[in-house]
Structure formats: structure tokens, C-alpha cells
Chain A
Amino acid sequence: MSLGAMDIFKFLPAGKREANANCKKCGCATCMMFAIKLSKGQGDTQKCPFIPDELREKLEHNKKVQQKTLLLGDLKIGGETVLYRHEKTFINPCALVVELDYNNSDYADKLKRILDFEFECIGNKYRVDAVYSNNIPDSDAKLLKGKGIEVFDDNFLKNMKQVEYSDLPSTVNELVKIRTSAIVERDEKYSDPVFVRLFGDDFVSLSAVASALVCKYSNMIIFEQFNEALFVSLITLRLNIFTDPQKPLQVESKVYEFNNPDENAFIFLTTNFALSYFAVANELSSLKCGSYLVITPSEGMSVLTAWSAQKITAEIAAKVVNSSEVLQKVKVKRIIIPGLLSDLQEELQLALPEWEIMVGTTEAYKIPDFVKKLQSA
């Protein structure tokens, strides 16, 4: 358990309402200030002559590392500090690894598929994190490393704790126990990062298993077999779970395209708050027709927040629209703005005189109906 300033203060003279309260021998003006310092891991307990042993032990215990961080090239494994992501954030995404055996007949094919595998999601590119092999030729290891894929053998695994997969509920329970001992108890026996090996090519079943293990609480999963769809879905899940909840997930401010838009495409606009983007993007991608989505740089704020904080203004929106080349090719010069931004319509109209600014729906799910009505009009 982490020790807050108040937990520490209770043990100090001022907190116990005893003599020597706020004696300043520690160099701080008050016991409270000293407590705050200690809670941040600063300050020296020796400076306070009145600290009880119990608090000293607690602080000592709190200095222990919860989970070790391992380095594998640029890849970091472990180093987690909380049990639940909403307490702070998860730190290092669960590494997704494929096993390669040079003596296996599928070696060359598997190597090629791993090398070829790369996909883009919200502006970032993703690959297999690492390959586990005890007999890979140096030249192939070099090829993998050239693509940013790390290579390791049994020597590296000695630094980790293996949990043998039995069945999903038992394995998750085992992983929860280990992680709880590491994070809450700070028990050194459990401070090594943990990996699980998964075998077989029943990828649909493996998807159920691995998705739960990414969340609870494997630091690395080694797959015997490789499958593109499995890795795409797991990396997508991992991206969500390992997002820092304290920083709103943002998407890049630019013009996004859906369903190969041509000169007849519809143009929508919203802020770069990831959830706003996803809500609209989901509807636009499900339309039969092509469309563009203009995303404004609004510091990851949702539409109304951004509007009241002046992070979406006519000027900001006009800048994105005017700097886009693709939008200039569209025939019907019309931009559909969120229903919640209806107050911005006039201002936008002035800033973008050659465009028609139309107020759209207040909810993303109403977009398909809205478009249908536009098309039949």
C-alpha cells in the first residue's frame, strides 16, 4: 500500500498532538511538511528524532520495488505499480512474442510473415514485439532487429517468472495472486515480471485466452504459432488498456478519409478527443458513401469542453480546412459540424465564406439517418 502524507503525519509529534510538535529539527517548518516530503520519497527519516520504529519500517518497506523492469533492446517489460489502471496507469504494455524454431519446417514461412506484419492505428505503426528463439541464425536475427523486432533466448527468460497455462480461470487467478503480492505486499519473491506460453493454432480460442491475460496480468505472452488477425486484435486491445487514463487519448489533427471519398463525399468536423473521433469515425466508416472527417487540434477535449475552453474556434477549424488539399477537390462545399456546436455556425460561416456550414446531429449514432435525409433531399 502506498503511504500518503496523512498516513505518515499520524505518526509524527504534531499528528499525535505530543510534545516536540513542529520542532523543526528535520529542517521543515512543520511536521506536516515533513510528512509530505516523506510521502514523495524525499527527506531523511534520520533527521527526525521522534519517528517511531513502526513508521520507519513502513517507509523502508515502501521503498521496495514492486515489480522489476526488464530491458530487451528498446522494449521494456514489467515495472507496474498499480493493480487497477484507474488508480494511476499501467506502464509497460504486455509484450506479444512469437516463438521461432529453426529446426521446424514452417520456420522460413513464419519468419517471413513476422517480418511482413505491420499495421497502422491512430497514426502509429505496430509489429510483433519480439521473437523467442534458441537457434535463430544471426542473419535472420539481424533482419528482425532491423525492423524493430527484438530477439531473445532462454537466457533472457531466466529473469522472468513463468506461469504455466492450465485453464483460463485458474491461470488468471494465479496471475492476479502474483501481481497482488508484488504490488500490494511488495513481496520480493514476486517482483519478477511474468510470462505465459500459449500453444496451438486454434486462434479464435487463443483470442479469448490472450485477451484476458493481457488485462490480468501477464507481462509477456509467447505464442507458439503466429496469426495476423490475432495480433491485430490483441495489440488494439492492449493499446486501449495501457492508455494513461489521466491523459485523454487524442488523435492526430488532420483530415481523415472513409470509404475512398471522391468529389461527392460528405465532410464532417469534430475535435481530436479520441472518443469523439471514434464515435464519428465508426458511423462514417459504416456508411455506404465516402466521407471526410476534419479533426481539429483541441488538446483532446470533447466538443463542448473544447468550445467553452476556446480550444475549438472558427479560426482553429478554418486553419485545418484551408490547409487540406483533398478538401479543395470536393464539389459540394459543405461542412457538417456537431449539433452541440450550433453556436459556432455563424462564426465559422464568416471564417470560411466559400463553404456552407451545416449543423449536424447532437449524437454520432444519428449520422446515418442524417446522411440518408441529405441524400434524398
Chain B
Amino acid sequence: MKSFNLHSDTLLKPVLGLEFPLEIGDNYSPVLKKYWGNVLDEPCEFFSCVQKNALEIGADFISVYFNLQEPDFAFKNTVLHKYKSIFANILKLCKMPLMIKLSSHVAWDCEIFDSIADDIDRDIIISPIQSANYEKILKRALKSKFNHKFVLRTPIDINLTKELNILSIDEGVNPQQIFIDPDMGCIGYGIDYGYSIIERICLARRSGDKMLDMPIIVYAGEEAYKAKETKSTDFAPSWGDLEQRAKMWEISTASSLVAAGANIVVCWHPDALKALRKQFCEVLCH
């Protein structure tokens, strides 16, 4: 991963990741279905295809999203077994920095992480870790010899963010291993709350608060593609073309949060990542 200079007053170049979900449900946007095409049905093929794209457009890392919600007890072992074997294959295929994103359901995330933890053979980013499961996941991850990064998620509250950072450091995490996830929404869905939390974290950081002095990560792709504006053609003509609107929903979410001070952006559509990279990162020196 790139290093961060968090104390600059100027707009920072964001680090950009490309993410894909392992389970394609009814909710998956037709815009993304059309882009990825046939590879969606087979997770390892999907991974290879996303990685090829990510390398071409200059993404900094790739993220595998274990997005299935906790299954019924009877199916649990089958799913965990499947995840273990998919993940082992992904590790063999993966040529770039890797993030795993768990489902965000605290108990189920511990089970997923337990099932794949033994296979991890390199430094990765583990996301999201929350106050209800940080002890379990961190304990397991810190046992390995690797220097993982941990994405700590707290629900849009600067005090909770600080608290979870302190608690995690008490568990033995190095401050440099922490990314802050303020649990953002997307445009049109209360992005202002997270926008202001990010600005406040940056101000606290500049005034010397060491416990908030970590890079901020936002999931523009996942959040934007939850909204119906990125999925449905059921809008009046004034809402514009679905494909354009979907890309813009993700880009606008990402761009405003980078303006607020976000350091790492995780995208779903390669065109969104490409546009962000072009505008924020590919600037010639003057």
C-alpha cells in the first residue's frame, strides 16, 4: 500500500480500490451485470476479470466482498466451506494488494474470518471490524506473522471512532495498522452526516489528536449501488440515463467525501474508479 501524508492542508490523492461481491443477488445493479457479463456466475473467474480491470485502470488494491448474510444453521458449514476454497483460490490468483470485506454482520463475520484465517499467506486489509467483534477478529489476526491493516467501523460518531481505535491499540494493534471507516451513506441518503464526521476527524487530526490520526476509508461503490437510483429504470426522463446516473451516483459520493478528507475510496464500477483517478491522481506537476 501507498503511504499517507495526512497532515497536508491540500487535497490529497485518494488511494483507490476496486471491489466485487461474491454473491450476485436480485439486487445487483443491471449496470454492473452488463459490465461484467458472464464471469459473474463463477467467483474465481469474476476475481480474475476484476483484477485484470483493476491492473489496467491503475487501481491500488482489490477487495473481495463476502456479502452473503448469515445463512440458516443448516447451510452454514456448506457456505463456510465454499468460502474457504474460493478464498484459497483467490490467494493463488491475486497479484495485487488485497482486501477482504466481511458481511458487516458481527457474529457471522467472526465465523467467516475463522474459516479463512489459516489460509492467509500475506499482508492483507481486513474490513469491517466493529465494536461488537473487534476482540475476536483482532486476536485471531494478530496471532499470524503478517502485518495486516484493520478497517475499524463505527457508526458516524467521532467519539465511538476514537474509542474503538484506543481499544484496538490496547489489543496490540499498531496505530499504523488502522483505517477509520465512519460508516458512510451515499448522496441522497444522508451523506451529510458522514461528510461532517470526516471533516471533524481531519480537524482533530490536524490539531494533534493521535487517536484519530489514521487514514479514512469510504465504500462509495457499495453505498451507491444500494440506492435505487443506480438500479432502476423506473424514473422520469429528467433523471437521465440509468448507466450514466449509476456511475455518477458512485463518483459524486466518492468525490465529495474525498473533498471532505477521505483517503481511501473503494469503487464498484471500473469507470468510476477511472474517472476519480483521472481527476484526483493523474495531475501533471506544475
Return the CB mask of B202-214 against A: 1 if under 8 Å, else 0.
Answer: 0100000000000
Q: Which of B138-146, B169-177, B231-239 contacts A (4 or more CB under 8 A)?
A: B231-239
Closest-CB distance, B130 to chain A (whole angstroms) = 13
Known: A230-B244, A241-B192. 17 other contacts (CB 8 A): A86-B196, A168-B11, A170-B283, A172-B11, A207-B275, A208-B252, A212-B279, A216-B259, A229-B239, A233-B248, A237-B252, A237-B253, A239-B188, A240-B195, A241-B256, A282-B189, A285-B227
How many angstroms between the C-alpha atoms of A113 and B276 in the bound complex? 28
Contact A240 B10, beta carbon cutoff 8 Å: no
Closest-CB distance, B27 to chain A (whole angstroms) = 5
* Most chain A CB neighbours (cut-off 10 Å) among B232, B271, B278: B278
Question: Is A215 engaged at the interface, CB distance under 8 Å to the other chain?
Answer: yes
From DSSP, what is the main secondary structure of chain B's interface residues?
helix
Question: Interface size (B, Cβ < 8 Å)?
Answer: 57
Question: Is B148 engaged at the interface, CB distance under 8 Å to the other chain?
Answer: no
Contact A227 B244, beta carbon cutoff 8 Å: yes
How many angstroms between the C-alpha atoms of A32 and B203 in the bound complex? 31
Q: Known interface pairs A233-B249, A241-B195. Does A168 touch B240 (Cβ–Cβ under 8 Å)?
A: no
Name the one of B203, B229, B248, B259 contacting A207, with C-beta atoms under 8 angstroms.
B248
How many angstroms between the C-alpha atoms of A284 and B242 in the bound complex? 19
A-B contacts counted at CB < 8 A amount to 164
How many angstroms between the C-alpha atoms of A309 and B278 in the bound complex? 50
* Most chain A CB neighbours (cut-off 10 Å) among B26, B228, B239, B255: B255
Q: Known interface pairs A169-B10, A204-B251. Does A245 touch B256 (Cβ–Cβ under 8 Å)?
A: no
Contact A274 B190, beta carbon cutoff 8 Å: yes
Q: Known interface pairs A84-B203, A207-B248, A208-B276. Does A243 touch B192 (Cβ–Cβ under 8 Å)?
A: yes
Q: Known interface pairs A85-B196, A173-B11, A278-B189. Does A207 touch B286 (Cβ–Cβ under 8 Å)?
A: no
Contact A245 B240, beta carbon cutoff 8 Å: no
Contact B190 A286, beta carbon cutoff 8 Å: no
Chain A residues numbered 290-327 whose CB sits less than 8 Å from any CB in chain B: none
Return the CB mask of A173-195 against B: 1 if under 8 Å, else 0.
Answer: 10010000000000000000000
Question: Is B152 engaged at the interface, CB distance under 8 Å to the other chain?
Answer: no
Chain A residues positioned under 8 Å from B4 (CB to CB):
none
Question: Is A214 engaged at the interface, CB distance under 8 Å to the other chain?
Answer: yes
Contact B238 A228, beta carbon cutoff 8 Å: yes
Q: Which of A3-11, A117-125, A137-145 contacts B (4 or more CB under 8 A)?
A: A117-125
Contact A215 B238, beta carbon cutoff 8 Å: no
Chain A residues positioned under 8 Å from B244 (CB to CB):
203-204, 227, 229-230
Contact A236 B187, beta carbon cutoff 8 Å: yes
Contact A172 B259, beta carbon cutoff 8 Å: yes
How many angstroms between the C-alpha atoms of A86 and B158 in the bound complex? 13
With both beta carbons as reference points, the residue of chain A lying nearest to B276 in the complex is identified as A208
Contact A237 B203, beta carbon cutoff 8 Å: no
Q: Categorize the interface residue count of chain A.
A: 35 or more
Chain B residues positioned under 8 Å from A16 (CB to CB):
none
Contact B255 A275, beta carbon cutoff 8 Å: no
Chain A residues positioned under 8 Å from B191 (CB to CB):
237, 240-241
How many angstroms between the C-alpha atoms of A286 and B30 in the bound complex? 13
Contact B256 A168, beta carbon cutoff 8 Å: no
Question: Is B43 engaged at the interface, CB distance under 8 Å to the other chain?
Answer: no
Q: Known interface pairs A212-B255, A274-B190, A285-B228. Does A229 touch B248 (Cβ–Cβ under 8 Å)?
A: yes
Closest-CB distance, A312 to chain B (whole angstroms) = 20
The 8 lowest CB-CB distance pairs between A and B, nearest first, are: A229-B240, A228-B240, A211-B255, A285-B228, A229-B245, A233-B248, A211-B252, A229-B244
Chain B residues positioned under 8 Å from A231 (CB to CB):
240
How many angstroms between the C-alpha atoms of A215 and B253 in the bound complex? 11
How many angstroms between the C-alpha atoms of A241 and B256 in the bound complex? 9
Closest-CB distance, B236 to chain A (whole angstroms) = 7
Q: Known interface pairs A169-B11, A207-B252, A228-B237. Does A286 touch B200 (Cβ–Cβ under 8 Å)?
A: no
Question: Is B258 engaged at the interface, CB distance under 8 Å to the other chain?
Answer: yes
Question: Is A158 engaged at the interface, CB distance under 8 Å to the other chain?
Answer: no
Contact A173 B69, beta carbon cutoff 8 Å: no
From DSSP, what is the main secondary structure of chain A's interface residues?
helix
Chain A residues positioned under 8 Å from B260 (CB to CB):
215
Contact B228 A208, beta carbon cutoff 8 Å: no
Return the CB mask of A257-284 against B: 1 if under 8 Å, else 0.
Answer: 0011000000000000011001100100
Closest-CB distance, A343 to chain B (whole angstroms) = 23
How many angstroms between the C-alpha atoms of A236 and B200 in the bound complex? 22
Name the one of B185, B239, B275 contacting A204, with C-beta atoms under 8 angstroms.
B275
Question: Is A104 engaged at the interface, CB distance under 8 Å to the other chain?
Answer: no
Question: Is B241 engaged at the interface, CB distance under 8 Å to the other chain?
Answer: yes
Chain A residues positioned under 8 Å from B284 (CB to CB):
167
Name the one of B199, B228, B278 contacting A286, with C-beta atoms under 8 angstroms.
B228
Closest-CB distance, B207 to chain A (whole angstroms) = 13
Chain B residues positioned under 8 Å from A286 (CB to CB):
27, 226, 228, 231
Q: Known interface pairs A229-B244, A232-B238, A285-B228. Does A211 touch B256 (Cβ–Cβ under 8 Å)?
A: yes
Chain B residues positioned under 8 Å from A212 (CB to CB):
11, 255-256, 258-259, 279
Contact A240 B240, beta carbon cutoff 8 Å: no
Closest-CB distance, B276 to chain A (whole angstroms) = 6
Question: Is A164 engaged at the interface, CB distance under 8 Å to the other chain?
Answer: no
Closest-CB distance, B249 to chain A (whole angstroms) = 6
Chain A residues numbered 102-141 whose CB sits less than 8 Å from any CB in chain B: 116-119, 121
Q: Known interface pairs A169-B283, A173-B11. Does A214 touch B256 (Cβ–Cβ under 8 Å)?
A: yes
Question: Is A336 engaged at the interface, CB distance under 8 Å to the other chain?
Answer: no
With both beta carbons as reference points, the residue of chain B lying nearest to A234 in the complex is identified as B252
Name the one of B69, B229, B240 contacting A230, with C-beta atoms under 8 angstroms.
B240
